[in-house]
Structure 1
Amino acid sequence: MLPGVLRSGVRGWGPAPSGPRRFGVLAASLLITAAAAGGCGSGDSTVAKTPPPLSASAGSTAGSAPGSAGTTTAPPPAPPPPAPPPSDPCAVNLAAPAILDAVSKLPPDPRSKQGWSPEPIAGNYNECAPLSAVIVRANTNAENPNTRAVLFHLGKFIPSGVPETSGFNGIDEKQSTGDTVALTFTNAIGLQSVVKFRWNGNGVELVGNTPAG
């Protein structure tokens, strides 16, 4: 029937069918045309709606995005070093502020009328000893400045109540103990003598002269 339809309806071969046969042929032709058109439209729509596959470069870019699981983070900063331990208060310290304060309170040197240098030339000052001392000199450019000892109890300056300490110019470490300071004196001809001062629990007392060790 289809070849007849094409020959009669499209190319005009022979007379066109009439009556019910004519309507049946036209309906069949319309159905075939609609089916063909619908099939093409469905295929075109499917192709348009299907997303293209991801390329290798797109996957690589997505994997390296900020905040992704593959991102390498910097290690945490190292902890600061521990603080150094405090200095030993019982160690000898000739730069202690208490020395500077004590020297500033001394009366002037009787010979030069000058004050005293805050930099000791000898001493065993520390905050733990019942008795310790430093030797200072007059703050003058004289060739042989006067010297004297300054005494401390547990690191505190003893301003009064002590025997005379002028003229002492050194400390004998071998004869000094925690509560006793052995001060040395060298005279003009080079002879040295030692005088001991001791803390008796209430103040400083003179022990006596001893030969230099």
Structure 2
Amino acid sequence: MVMLSVASAVAGCSSGDSTASKTPGPTAPNVSAPPPNAPTPAGPVPVATPAREAQPCDVDLAAPEIATAVSALPRDPRSNQGWSPEPLAGNYNECAPLSVVIVKANTNAQNPNTRAVMFHLGQFIPSGVPDTYGFNGIDNAVTTGDTVALRYSSGAPGLDSVVKFRWNGNGVELIGNTPG
């Protein structure tokens, strides 16, 4: 009799049956929507966020606006080359009244010419900017949202200088030149 029940149990299983197909899967918890006008839970609701992305008002030296602006610049007067879109320094920020990037001539020369490219609220300022050739850094200690302090450093003692530019509401003006 035992042989008969084992044989019938084995005969009941076909090749298409499997334990996995007969095992029930996990069920989702029964969650119902809160009724209308129900009070919301107190405190902030935690939200999972992916890796931090650049915020619009962060400094972003990889912003596409930089490459677009650099491509619109006239060639370097010294080498007759275009400009490299990769900034050497900068504080480009689409929310700042005045921000800047420093780029170099796209040449293999040992000391390529540099220039500052200025932006107002993330938009390239193509004209009306005082001469900005030769700068190679930014003095972040005195740079603010509407003022940029560009540094020229030759490496020789006593020859460094800082030149400040400010957005005056209508354009860029030179407001100071001090020894660095």
Normalised TM-score (structure 2):
0.74
Report what 2:172 is aligned to: 204
Please report how far the alpha carbon of residue 58 of structure 1 lies from its aligned counterpart in structure 2 after TM superposition: 4.7
Runs ≥4 residues deviating over 6 A: none
Please tell me whether the aligned partners of residues 108 and 114 of structure 1 are also in contact (alpha carbons under 8 angstroms): yes
Name the larger-Rg structure: 1
Matches of 2:54 and 2:88, distance apart in 1: 22
Q: Does 1:148 align with 2:115?
A: yes
Moved more, 84-93 or 121-130: 84-93
The 5 Å alignment of 1:78-97 reads 83-84=50-51, 86-97=53-64
Report what 1:55 is aligned to: 4
Matches of 1:115 and 1:160, distance apart in 2: 18
Please tell me whether the aligned partners of residues 54 and 60 of structure 2 are also in contact (alpha carbons under 8 angstroms): no
Structure 1 stretches lacking a partner, 5+ long: 1-51
Q: Does 1:194 align with 2:162?
A: yes
Please report how far the alpha carbon of residue 62 of structure 1 lies from its aligned counterpart in structure 2 after TM superposition: 7.2
* Higher relative contact order, structure no. (Cα contacts within 8 Å, ≥ 6 residues apart): 2
Report what 2:30 is aligned to: none
Aligned residues: 156
Matches of 2:116 and 2:2, distance apart in 1: 97
Please report how far the alpha carbon of residue 186 of structure 1 lies from its aligned counterpart in structure 2 after TM superposition: 2.4
C-alpha RMSD of matched pairs (Å)? 2.9
Please report how far the alpha carbon of residue 103 of structure 1 lies from its aligned counterpart in structure 2 after TM superposition: 0.6
In the alignment, residue 165 of structure 2 is paired with which amino acid? F
Please report how far the alpha carbon of residue 83 of structure 1 lies from its aligned counterpart in structure 2 after TM superposition: 4.7
Bigger share in helix: 1
Report what 2:70 is aligned to: 103
In the alignment, residue 199 of structure 1 is paired with which amino acid? W
Distance 1:82 1:179, change over 3 A: closer
Matches of 2:25 and 2:153, distance apart in 1: 69
In the alignment, residue 204 of structure 1 is paired with which amino acid? V
In the alignment, residue 72 of structure 2 is paired with which amino acid? K
Please report how far the alpha carbon of residue 119 of structure 1 lies from its aligned counterpart in structure 2 after TM superposition: 1.1
Structure 2 stretches lacking a partner, 5+ long: 28-47
Q: Does 1:72 align with 2:23?
A: yes
Please tell me whether the aligned partners of residues 98 and 120 of structure 2 are also in contact (alpha carbons under 8 angstroms): yes
Matches of 2:94 and 2:146, distance apart in 1: 12
Distance 1:113 1:192, change over 3 A: same
Report what 1:24 is aligned to: none
